[in-house]
Structure 1
Amino acid sequence: MVESKFDPTIAQGVALSRSRFEDNTFSHGENLKQGVQTNWGTVQIRHHTEFEVVFNDPATNQLHPGVRETIKNGSNVYVDYPGYSDYRHIPVIGKGVTFQLPGSIDRWGMMCESDLEEVHRHRSLVGRLTRRFMASAILVTLLPLALQHFLGWDPYSSAGISLLGAGALTLLFRSRTAKPLSRSLEQMTGVMKVLAEGDGNLKQRLDASKFKADETGT
């Protein structure tokens, strides 16, 4: 909550949280619905996981700097917050933004965060394809020169070996790069097609562990 006009008793910075802690569908870890293990036993909400929470900085007992700056400036991006710089021992970065829903007199804020390693793990598909193509081109170019220099092969024999090498590298590129890329796109396209046709099962999940850290994985 940024500015509560409908119910002024709601304090600034109070957040309504639910889906994040619903189950392990997205978090893939401990959650309040299935239980969080602590030194004092299992903490669990049995009936529902919708609750109000305030993000206070333990050092100052004031609003977390990320929340504070988001409310103050209308938006905020910083490496340390609005997500905690260390969430469950995982470095995160975050972004905050404020908005007003149509028909609502209140102003709200929204925060999201992502693991620092996941954000910077992304590598462009263009770079990966270019590197593999360059490696193949260099190998095919140097192979006949090496044969001529070290083994004394004639140019025609070296050219023949170069052609065989080019064919082998083409097959290797097809099996190790082109086909996996095609399968990944086909899998995602199939799910999107089912959803777009209106009969989609929203419980369908893609195996994120099989995705590359590039545009296709994103």
Structure 2
Amino acid sequence: MWLKWYYFVVSLILLSSVTCESTETSDTATLLKTYRSYIIASHDLDKSDRSILKNWTTDFQIQLVNITTHYRLEMTRHKEHNFITIKTNSKWSDCIDFHHIEIYNSEKLYFNGESKCLQTANAEASRKKHSVYQLEKEIRKWRKSYRYLSSQCNMNNPGDEEAAGECLVEYMQKDNYYMTFQRLILLKMESMSDLYAQILKSLSNCEECLKSNLSVCLSNARNIMDTLNHCYRRKDL
């Protein structure tokens, strides 16, 4: 909720800036103030997003651990069959040995499935996170370009602040350069929202994946018990 409110405020700043820039009466000082507001907004956004990303990442991993632990305990609870090997009964001992091998293989199969579920969940979230980082890089490049243009205008108009300002505005207005920055900020906010949605989706998908994996494991457990029963009966014949 807080994230949506913060992005709403930033969006209002950008939209008000668009209105300001589209007005013919906008003077150089007003436009320069608008551009500086972009810089401040982008810095605040980066700082806020980094903190949010850190919290999301930590919470995401904790949730994955909780989900994984739940289904792993369920698997362990159903796979444990504490049969005692009877030394005087060789046929029972042989069946139990084979039974333990089957349990080990079933457990190994479960952990392989669990690993795939977790890898998929992390990969999905990582792709969205990568998009956020890429947009952050592009915004930093824009700020760097802005500083370069500002420096060039000051160098070309030494001591003339007004001329330097007009020079910078001309650069910014050319090819709608300032609108590119607006678009980058809006895309980054959208990318953060997509990332959060993907985190929730990944957690849900991971739980469904682990649930399906457990179902296979339980089916194997039933088959293993049937195999043990058949093994003992065959040896009893």
TM class by shorter chain equals 0.3 to 0.5
The structure with the greater share of residues assigned to strand is 1
TM-score (norm 1): 0.33
The structure with the greater share of residues assigned to helix is 2
For CA contacts below 8 A with separation 6 or more, give which structure has more relative contact order: 2
TM-score (norm 2): 0.30
- Which of 1 and 2 has greater Rg? 2
